[in-house]
Amino acid sequence: MDKNVAILIIFFNKLSQTIECIESFLPSKQKIYILNNASEENSWRKLQLKFKNIPSVFFFNSEENLGPARGRNLLIGKTTEDWIFLVDNDIRIKQKNNWKEIFDQEISIKPEASIFCPSLFNLHENAYSKPHEFVKVENKVTMQESANVITNYFPCCGAIVRKDIFKEYGLLDEKLFAFEDYEFAIRALCSSLGQLTVYPLPQIELIHDHQFQKNAIDKKTIRERYDENKIKESMDRVMAKHDIVFDHDWEWWTKKQINDMTKNPFMKKMKGHLKKALGR
């Protein structure tokens, strides 16, 4: 069963990684939809120039940063395909030449499925992401590692989704700066339609690289992407919207992302050795 899949990528600087991401999907000959989300002008020009002669690559531009939810919704609205592949621009696909065939085979086995999660290998952690699920008890929601292979949550950084799912449950919440995929799963969990059914697709592997950013523009990008005030506002909105208590250690997670991607790893290592030598 051959189903066309639209690859959706939001470009917010990190030019070299975005190029790697796009190039990894080109061999599949599926359409690639790219939104420039107010990137630095020169980087945006270079990206368009790099792929200007590739007929399967389509560019869209926003002069303001729409954020991940509004940006993805805009791209979803531009697609004509039944399926969409949501990926972050610091991800590349390992099975460049045959992931589409693997997906087609899986659809023929599970024609009822609407959401698939490829395996996600995090280079920065040297480990695969574990499947997670949301559990609701009264008004308290928790996110935990799933004991089941089928879960009720998919990360927007790497999932293949039937577009009709956004007609059933609605688009991503555009008022969110972060946690839009959390909110989508919680929305389903709290709705009369019932929770999402997300199937694993380990035969397809995505490589996620939160690498150290060397130039000032990309460092600024990271600080904007992990702005603590905006992330807190998003978390507060998720809880208020669904009248829930949701305990999540996002502050630690946010600080770690900024530290890993903007602080010189060599200097961090040297400081660690110095503290150890001084007994601190």
Q: Which residue positions in the chain have pLDDT lower than 70? A: 1-2, 253, 264-280
Q: Identify the helix (H) or strand (E) that includes residue 33.
A: strand 32-37
Name, in order, each residue with C-beta under 8 angstroms of 36's C-beta and a sequence gap of 6 or more.
Answer: 11, 44, 47, 59, 60, 61, 62
Residues facing 136 on adjacent strands: 141
Q: What is the pLDDT of residues 5-45, one digit of tens each?
A: 999 999 999 999 999 999 999 999 999 999 999 999 999 99
- pLDDT (0 to 100) of residue 256: 74
Q: What is the pLDDT of residues 77-88, one digit of tens each?
A: 999 999 999 999
CATH of the domain at 174: 3.90.550.10
Residues facing 9 on adjacent strands: 34, 87
- pLDDT (0 to 100) of residue 217: 76
With respect to residue 256, please indicate whether it lies within any of the assigned structural domains: no
Residue 250: what residue type? W
With respect to residue 267, please indicate whether it lies within any of the assigned structural domains: no
Number of domains the chain is built from: 1
With respect to residue 207, please indicate whether it lies within any of the assigned structural domains: yes
Which residue segment(s) compose the domain that 143 sits in? 5-212
- pLDDT (0 to 100) of residue 264: 64
- pLDDT (0 to 100) of residue 219: 80
Q: Write out the DSSP string of 57-103.
A: EEEEEESS--HHHHHHHHHHHH--SSEEEEE-TTEEES-TTTHHHHH
